[in-house]
Structure 1
Amino acid sequence: MTIRIGLTGSIGMGKSTIAAMFRRLGVPVFDSDAEVHALQGPGGALVGAIERLFPGTTGPNGVDRAALGRAVLGDRAALRRLERLIHPAVRRRRALFLRRHAARPMVVLDIPLLFERTGWRQVDSILVVSAPAWMQRRRVLARPGMTGGRLARIRALQVRDSVKRARADAVIDTARPKSASFAIIRRMVTCMRGG
């Protein structure tokens, strides 16, 4: 039976870095964000439906993420309409991924909103990636187009880091050197593989 590790963490905590470490060790990773990008990118399966829901948010390169963000951030009803479109599509892709890797000893499901939705019910173990709030803020504000106000709106939609940490089976503190995080991940993978 394949062990499903749910990988999560709030924005700017270093989840992508940890996911890359699992890949480096040969563990298949389902990246929910990457799937959303593919569904919304040029020729993506959801581009037409998103344009119908939020006119003017798409173009030749697919969904204009900044325009879509302006249309839904701070508007819970609009965000729910978007989620009702995106989440089922991502779940279908995740099911395909799990079938494709059914013979593997473990997989990682990188799900940013694991606790905010019901993703935690579909995994065997939860790994939370965390860092101090000041570090999270510094990382996120270094991203192009990010502002303090936008970060505050995103954080308001996410379960608090302290709650995620309390519900986790394991926590990776990404304030530590990457080599320390990699050593922890390597031990975890070795243990789960029975090595």
Structure 2
Amino acid sequence: MTKIIGLTGGIGSGKTTVARMFMAHGIPVYIADEEAKKLMESDVIIKKVEKAFGKEILTNQKIDRAKLASIVFNKAEKLEELNKIIHPAVQKHFKNWLKNHNTVPFVIKEAAILFETGGHKQCDKVITVVAPQLLRIERVILRDKSDKNSVLDRINNQWTDEKKVLLSDFVIENIDLEKTTTQVSDILKVLNKI
């Protein structure tokens, strides 16, 4: 049976970079955030989000992600409401994806809020990617062209690294790419034995 290895980390930790390193080794990787973005373009999800957040959340009949972010990252209950719409759809999509990868020993499921949603309970092992907060903020500002306060809002809506590390089987400190690559290779050696 194919094992599920969870891969998580706070915003800007570099978990997608790490996911791509696993892909480079031929490991199938499911990137939950990318799939969630695609699912948010489906009519079913658009209707549910519109019902929950109102017509003003739409621009040209599509979900305006910036408007939605400004609402959910300032109010925990609104974020929870959005997660209740998106996460079941992502879970269903992942289960279907997994059926197409049932001949490999393990797959990686990359998800930003793996612990927050309880997704880690469906994983055989969990890898958490960490980096110093200032570096994470810097990376996100560069990547998303956002400001420090909006990055901090998103950080504050996620579990702390310390809390994630306690529940993780492996921890990758992603500061230096060369060292990160070595850590990925070391973890792969262990995973190939499970």
TM over 0.5: yes
Partner of 1:93: 93
Q: In structure 2, do the counterparts of structure 1 residues 44 and 28 end up closer, same or farther at CA, with 3 Å as the change threshold?
A: farther
Query: Percent identity, aligned pairs only?
Result: 30
Q: 1:179 aligned to 2:178?
A: yes
Which secondary structure does the structure 2 equivalent of 1:185 belong to? helix
Q: In structure 2, do the counterparts of structure 1 residues 30 and 118 end up closer, same or farther at CA, with 3 Å as the change threshold?
A: same
Report the TM-score when normalising by structure 1. Answer: 0.90
- For residues 77 and 159 of structure 1, what CA distance do their matches in structure 2 show? 16
Question: Please, which moves more after superposition, 114-123 or 53-62?
Answer: 53-62
Report the TM-score when normalising by structure 2. Answer: 0.90
Partner of 1:135: 135
Partner of 2:59: 59
Q: Deviations over 1:77-130 (max 9, x none)?
A: 222221111111011011112211111111001011111121111101110101
Which secondary structure does the structure 1 equivalent of 2:143 belong to? coil
- For residues 188 and 148 of structure 1, what CA distance do their matches in structure 2 show? 33
Structure 1 segments (4+ residues) deviating >6 Å: none
- Residue 136 (structure 1) shift: 1.1
Q: Deviations over 1:116-170 (max 9, x none)?
A: 1211111011101011122112112223342222122212211111221222211
Which secondary structure does the structure 2 equivalent of 1:80 belong to? helix
- For residues 56 and 145 of structure 1, what CA distance do their matches in structure 2 show? 23
Which secondary structure does the structure 2 equivalent of 1:30 belong to? strand
Figure out how many residues of one structure are paired with residues of the other and give that number: 193
- For residues 73 and 133 of structure 1, what CA distance do their matches in structure 2 show? 18
Q: Supply the AA of the counterpart residue of 2:4.
A: R
- For residues 145 and 175 of structure 1, what CA distance do their matches in structure 2 show? 21
Question: Please, which moves more after superposition, 70-79 or 22-31?
Answer: 70-79
RMSD: 1.9
